[in-house]
Amino acid sequence: MPLFARLLLISFVESFVTTLIERGLYFYSHDRLRFTDAENLGLALGFGTAYAVGALASHAAARRLSEKRLLVLTLVGQFLAHAILFLWPQSVVLAVVNTLIGGLNGLKWPVIESYVSAGRTPTAQASTVGRFNLAWASAIPVALVAAGPLIGFWSPSLFATAGLLNLVSLALVLPLERRPAHLAADHPERPTPSAMARYRGLLASSRSLMLCSYSLMWVLAALLPRVFAVLAVSVAAATALSGLLDVFRGLTFLALHLYVGWHNRGWPLVVGIFLVPAGFFLAIFGPSVPVVLVGELLFGLGAGMTYYSALYYAMIVKNAAVEAGGAHEGIIGIGFVIGPLSGLLGAALAPAVGGPLPGMLVGMGPLILICVAGAIWFLVKVARPKASPV
């Protein structure tokens, strides 16, 4: 199998596994263990904290162990974690092992991203990142469609499926080189200093907005099981419907992959500034299933634009090192932490401020405003120099 095809297959399989647990687990805990919104947000907080730590540590770990060895160890660790959940899926075990899985995912994804993007020129990087995004994103709605029936038919099969797929990934990883080969620092197609300065500004803006989108996405992941339950949607249908967000995020990836006119431009981030908050509040507080789905649609479009931009610019600026993916995934992990914390604050304040919607506005509002302000600030900075598009 060609190397790049192997890497895309690994990305698809591991995204499928990640989604079964990362997103399907909240439907499992709500339906089988009767977790409340606060308990699901607590699960999300534990996962996100460990994810951020793992992602930020991935670069140092890869330098010490090699990228391949680190990837193998994370896959073996995930298999063992999924085996434990298969055998003992009680509440406390679920919370502890889910946190462990978060750390392993944080270590894993920057390494996969480095293998996928290493050795690419800035021109080729856009296509590479696009195909990688399509590979992992296409697995998410498929996994969410599968998660509901797995939970409904025989709930331990959710963890058994994840563990068996980890073994598939392990078999695919074993033929990889010990370390991916990177583009030489003095390669003629590396960006000029002025172009690099603009890339850094767009990277900072997209990361600020990506922090917002992943913070809100993790609150959505924890609360959508309750939203759909209140609207009398079955678990099997609800897990599938929650994947609409990812369908539209994937379609956004496809559009940005095919249309290169957005490169080095700020308008995708401006669009994301409006779509991400609007989609979040519609999805959480929509009075009917169609309104919730419209919220997912808008959120998916905005989140797709910010994610693609952030990863594309990171891989150019950092030359596809694990450090680039580590920082990228670290921001995602931080979003996984501050999102549930803000959601828990909003839930706690709801009785005092007049209900769930005002509470969520008070809890999530400052986070949204700070991230949006940061994104706008960096966009303004890169707009000031009269740099021509690269």
pLDDT of amino acid 171: 96
**pLDDT at residue 389 tops 80:** no
pLDDT digits (tens, 9 = 90+) for 310-354: 988 888 887 655 666 678 888 988 998 899 899 888 888 888 888
- What single string gives the DSSP state of each residue in 320-379? T-HHHHHHHHHHHHHHHHHHHHHHHHHHHHHHHHTSHHHHHHHHHHHHHHHHHHHHHHHH
The mean per-residue pLDDT over the stretch 271-288 comes to 94
Average the pLDDT over each of 9-18, 58-67, 173-182 and give the range with the smallest value: 173-182
- CA angle 176/182/186 to nearest 5° reads 165
pLDDT digits (tens, 9 = 90+) for 290-316: 999 999 999 999 999 999 999 888 888
pLDDT of amino acid 238: 92
Largest CA distance in the chain: 61
Read off the pLDDT band of 235 (50, 70, 90): confident
**pLDDT at residue 355 tops 90:** no
The mean per-residue pLDDT over the stretch 130-140 comes to 92
Q: How far apart are CA 117 and CA 182, in angstroms?
A: 8
Task: Answer with the residue of higher pLDDT: 121 or 167.
Answer: 167
Instruction: Report CA-CA distances (Å) from 162 to 85, 165, 217.
Output: 10, 5, 22
**pLDDT at residue 48 tops 50:** yes
pLDDT of amino acid 388: 46
Read off the pLDDT band of 221 (50, 70, 90): confident
Average pLDDT, the chain: 88
CATH 1.20.1250.20 holds for 3-175+189-383: yes
pLDDT of amino acid 66: 93
Q: How far apart are CA 90 and CA 32, in angstroms?
A: 10
pLDDT digits (tens, 9 = 90+) for 240-260: 999 899 999 999 999 998 988
pTM of the full structure: 0.83
Read off the pLDDT band of 201 (50, 70, 90): very high
Read off the pLDDT band of 121 (50, 70, 90): low
pLDDT digits (tens, 9 = 90+) for 79-95: 999 999 999 989 999 99
**pLDDT at residue 213 tops 90:** yes
- 334 in Cβ contact with 325 (< 8 Å): no
